[in-house]
Amino acid sequence: MAERTLVRRLLWFAGLWLAGVLSLLAVSAILKLLIPS
């Protein structure tokens, strides 16, 4: 049971990290479109 909860927690952290990275990429892309350098 403990191993299963640990795996679930690791998957949750991985999903949260992936969502953060994707949101940062989206924000940077939008800023590049709004402010062409």
Query: Which pLDDT belongs to residue 1?
Result: 66
Query: In angstroms, rounded to a whole number, what is the distance separating the alpha carbons of residues 28 and 19?
Result: 14
pLDDT of residue 2: 80
DSSP the chain: -HHHHHHHHHHHHHHHHHHHHHHHHHHHHHHHHHS--
Q: Domain residues of the chain, as ranges?
A: 1-37
> Can you give the pLDDT at residue 3?
87
**pLDDT tens per residue across span 1-37:** 688 999 999 999 999 999 999 999 999 999 999 997 6
